[in-house]
């Protein structure tokens, strides 16, 4: 998506460890007009998927997920992060290792917010090694609902997340695909 690639080129900075910082439009300050466009792109890409609900993880997945939910007219549920859980009876829970923070968090969704006949679209800000998406897929499996696909704003294609999801037969769409962050330069995958 050209609009998003331009924003990344103009505003993104590359941090050590091949981390892309995009905190002035996605991860801290949020550009609502851009988010709305991203939501429309997800709607087009998953138009035939029969999506009934969107799942994401707090906090940076929420903005694009809400805009996709608005455009697709489906509810959005974000998994909450917990350090430790004592009361798990009414929750679906998975453990996720965070690439950027290098810690494991439990994420959980209240059972009331996933219905048995749901077809869920998983949305997140970044796809790197696929841990966050994997956690949401575990929750979807525990809830016995179908995963219609995975939509991410930015995919770091040099990490293994997409391959892992495609190997599992998942429909993956990324609005920007980064081939490399070497030498602090952002290089996009050529279509
Ligand atoms: P994964 O679970 O796919 O390894 O990593 C995805 C999660 O880690 C995303 O939810 C995102 O919060 C964070 N993440 C991974 N790589 C980056 C990056 O380069 N920049 C930023 N800002 N977040 C990242």
Distance CA 4, CA 175 (A): 7
65-115: pLDDT as tens digits? 999 999 999 999 999 997 655 556 799 999 999 878 888 999 999 999 999
Which of 169, 120, 179 has its CA nearest to residue 146? 120
132 is in an annotated binding site: yes
Q: What is the mean pLDDT of the chain?
A: 95
* The pair of three-digit structure tokens given for residue 57, joined into one six-digit string: 């993880």
Q: Atom 17 (ligand 1): residue with closest C-alpha?
A: 19
CA of 56 to the centre of ligand 1 (A): 13
Looking from the CA of residue 161, the nearest atom of ligand 1 is 3
CA of 117 to the centre of ligand 1 (A): 30
- Name residues of the chain where pLDDT drops below 70: 83-88, 191
- In this predicted structure, what is the pLDDT of residue 83? 60
pTM of the model: 0.96
- In this predicted structure, what is the pLDDT of residue 172? 98
Distance CA 40, CA 68 (A): 6
ipTM of the complex: 0.98
Q: Which CATH architecture has domain 2-152+159-177?
A: 3-Layer(aba) Sandwich (3.40)
Q: Atom 10 (ligand 1): residue with closest C-alpha?
A: 126
């Amino acid at each position: 998506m050209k609009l998003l690639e331009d924003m990344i080129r103009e505003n993104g900075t590359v941090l050590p460890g091949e981390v892309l910082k995009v905190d002035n439009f996605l991860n801290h300050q949020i550009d609502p007009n851009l988010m709305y466009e991203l939501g429309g792109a997800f709607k087009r890409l998953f138009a035939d998927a029969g999506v009934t609900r969107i799942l994401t993880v707090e906090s940076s997945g929420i903005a694009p997920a809400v805009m996709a939910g608005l455009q697709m007219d489906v509810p959005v549920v974000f998994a909450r992060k917990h350090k430790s859980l004592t009361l798990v009876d009414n929750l679906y829970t998975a453990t996720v290792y965070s690439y950027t923070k290098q810690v494991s968090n439990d994420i959980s969704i209240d059972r009331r917010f996933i219905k048995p006949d749901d077809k869920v679209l998983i949305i997140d800000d970044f796809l790197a090694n696929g841990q966050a998406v994997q956690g949401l897929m575990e929750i979807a499996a525990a809830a016995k609902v179908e995963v219609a696909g995975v939509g991410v704003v930015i995919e770091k294609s040099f990490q293994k997340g997409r391959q892992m999801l495609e190997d599992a037969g998942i429909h993956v769409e990324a609005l920007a695909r980064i081939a490399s962050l070497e030498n602090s330069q952002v290089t996009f995958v050529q279509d």
